[in-house]
């Protein structure tokens, strides 16, 4: 299973242990829409909280060094965004993630 698939599965299952396996200890997650940077533990806590869910996940490209994913992300507060994610890999794990998001209007 690809690194991105494992991370996507960890989010879907709220599986902190799987996330720990696939996220590098030196991980940084830069969220361009908010300007926030999250650590490995921040992301694990967030995915375990159930605040975020994904659908229409598409891995656009992945090799041993980098990957790109697009998905529709919905948050507990009802907000939905189209999210493009860039991943950099090191030692078979995600060491860096950056996202750009476009808000999808509520219906």
pLDDT band at 106; cut points 50, 70, 90: confident
pLDDT tens digits, one per residue of 35-93:
889 999 999 999 999 999 999 999 999 999 999 999 999 999 999 999 999 999 999 99
pTM of the predicted model, to two decimals? 0.93
Instruction: Tell me how far apart the alpha carbons of residues 45 and 40 are, in angstroms, rounded to a whole number.
Output: 9
Output the six-digit token pair for 34: 């908010």
pLDDT tens digits, one per residue of 63-79:
999 999 999 999 999 99
Domain boundaries, the chain: 3-104
Does residue 5 contact residue 22 with C-beta atoms inside 8 Å?
Answer: no
Instruction: Tell me how far apart the alpha carbons of residues 102 and 107 are, in angstroms, rounded to a whole number.
Output: 15
> Has domain 3-104 been given CATH number 1.10.3720.10?
no
Give the list of residues 6+ apart from residue 45 with CB closer than 8 angstroms, or none.
none
Burial class (CB in 10 A: 0-12, 13-18, 19+), 35: exposed
């Amino acid at each position: 299973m690809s690194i991105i698939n494992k991370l996507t599965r960890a989010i879907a299952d709220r599986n902190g242990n799987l996330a720990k396996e696939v996220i590098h200890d030196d991980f940084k997650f830069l969220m361009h829409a908010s300007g926030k940077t999250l650590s490995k533990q921040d992301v694990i806590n967030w995915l375990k909280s159930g605040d975020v869910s994904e659908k229409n996940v598409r891995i656009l490209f992945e090799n041993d060094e980098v990957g790109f994913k697009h998905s529709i992300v919905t948050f507990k507060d009802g907000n939905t965004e189209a999210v493009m994610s860039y991943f950099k890999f090191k030692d078979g794990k995600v060491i860096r993630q950056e996202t750009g998001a476009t808000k999808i209007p509520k219906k």
